[in-house]
Amino acid sequence: MEVKHIKVSEQVQQALADNRPVVALESTIIAHGMPYPQNVETSKNVESIIRKNGAVPATIGIIGGEIIVGLNEEEIEYMGKNGRTTVGKASRRDIAAMVANKLDGATTCAATSLIADMAGIDVFCTGGLGGVHRGAEHTFDISADLDELGMTRTMIVCAGAKAILDLPKTLEYLETKGVTTIGYGTRTLPAFFSSESAYHVDYRMDTEKQIAETFHVQKELGIQTGMLVCVPIPKEYEIKSEEINPVIEKAVEDAEHDGVTGKDSTPYVLARVKELTEGRSLAANIKLVYHNAEVAAKIAVELCKLR
C-alpha cells in the first residue's frame, strides 16, 4: 500500500506483499529513551532477534521530513546520535508539522502505531508505554499513547507501564478508551522493571497463538481500537518494586523541582532513574526489550497464518 510522504523500505514492502510477518519498532526509545551508543546497539540486536524469530523488523522514524518505515543501519545510527540535538520527539500531533517542515523526528508509541497502521503493519513492539502521569489530576499529563490505542488498530507489545506513571489510572483510562489489555502468561500488569504490580490486566493469555487469534477476531469484527499486550520482564533481570519505586519517586520529585513538564518529562525521568541506579535500570530496560521482541515476532508469525 502506498501512502504519500511515507517511504517503506524494500524489504518491508516485499514482506507485506508476500503476507510475511513484520514487526514495527519505535525510534523515541532510540533517540530519547536510551543513551548513545547503547541505544543503537540495542536497536540492532532487537532487529536481529525479530529476524531470528521469523519476522521482518520495521523501525520507524522521520528524517528530513520523510517518514521512513524500515530505517536502515545508517539512519538508526543518525537517530541514536542526534537524539539530544536535531531529532525531536514525534507524537501524533507532530507528524504533519515535521513532514511539511522537513524536520527529524523520533516516533513515540503513539506515532509509531499510527504510521504502522498506515503502512499495513499490525504488530508493534517496544519497551514501555506512556500513560497517565502521577499528579495528572493537576497537570493533565496523559500520554497520547493511550488515546492512540483507543483509535488505531495496532497491537502494541510492551513490558507494561513504568511506575513513573500512575498505573491504576492508566488502566482506568485504557478501559474508557475500549482497549483490551492482555498479560502474556500473567494476570497482573507488569511494571516494566518489575515483572508484577498490584493491578490486573483484563485477560491472561499464555500463547502467542491465542493473542494472535484475539487480535484477528477484533479485526474481522471491524473494531477500531488497538490492543495492548504486556510481557513481564524475565524474573532474572527484574528490579523488585521495593527497590525501584523509591528511586522512581526521587526522579519524579527531581523533575518537578527542575520544572520539567510535557514531552520532556518521560526522557528526563528515565535518564535520572538510570543515574540513580548506576546503570542497572538501563541494563534491565535492554533485557526486557529483547524479550518483547521475541514474543512480538512470534505473535506476528501466528497472525500471518490466520490471514
Rule CB under 6 A: which residues touch ligand PSU? 26, 28-29, 33, 108-109, 127-128, 130, 143-145, 162, 192, 263, 266, 270
Closest separation in Å from C-beta 269 to Mn ion: 11
Closest separation in Å from C-beta 57 to ligand PSU: 16
Q: Which is nearer to Mn ion, 119 or 164 (CB)?
A: 164
Q: Which is nearer to Mn ion, 94 or 141 (CB)?
A: 141
Q: Which one of Mn ion, ligand PSU, none interacts with residue 127, CB within 5 to 8 A by kind?
A: ligand PSU
d(CA 46, CA 30) in angstroms, rounded, equals 11
Q: Which is nearer to ligand PSU, 162 or 291 (CB)?
A: 162
Buried-state track 42-55, b at ≥16 Cβ within 10 A, e below 16? bbbebbebbeebeb
Q: Has 162 been annotated as catalytic? A: yes
Going by C-alpha positions, the residue among 269, 11, 257, 195 that lies closest to residue 119 is 11
Q: Which residue has the cell 546503570?
A: 279
**Sign of the torsion angle spanned by Cα atoms 235, 239, 154, 98:** negative
Q: Has 81 been annotated as catalytic? A: no
What are the residues binding Mn ion (CB under 5 A)? 141
Going by C-alpha positions, the residue among 65, 80, 84 that lies closest to residue 26 is 80
Q: Which residue out of 162, 263, 274, 298 is catalytically annotated?
A: 162
Closest separation in Å from C-beta 78 to ligand PSU: 18
Q: Which is nearer to ligand PSU, 35 or 54 (CB)?
A: 35
Q: Which residue out of 26, 77, 196, 302 is catalytically annotated?
A: 26
d(CA 245, CA 255) in angstroms, rounded, equals 15
Q: Which one of ligand PSU, Mn ion, none interacts with residue 77, CB within 5 to 8 A by kind?
A: none
d(CA 107, CA 25) in angstroms, rounded, equals 9
Q: Which one of Mn ion, ligand PSU, none interacts with residue 70, CB within 5 to 8 A by kind?
A: none
What is residue 224's three-state secondary structure?
Answer: coil
CA angle 111, 161, 255 (to 5 degrees): 85
Residues with catalytic roles: 26, 162
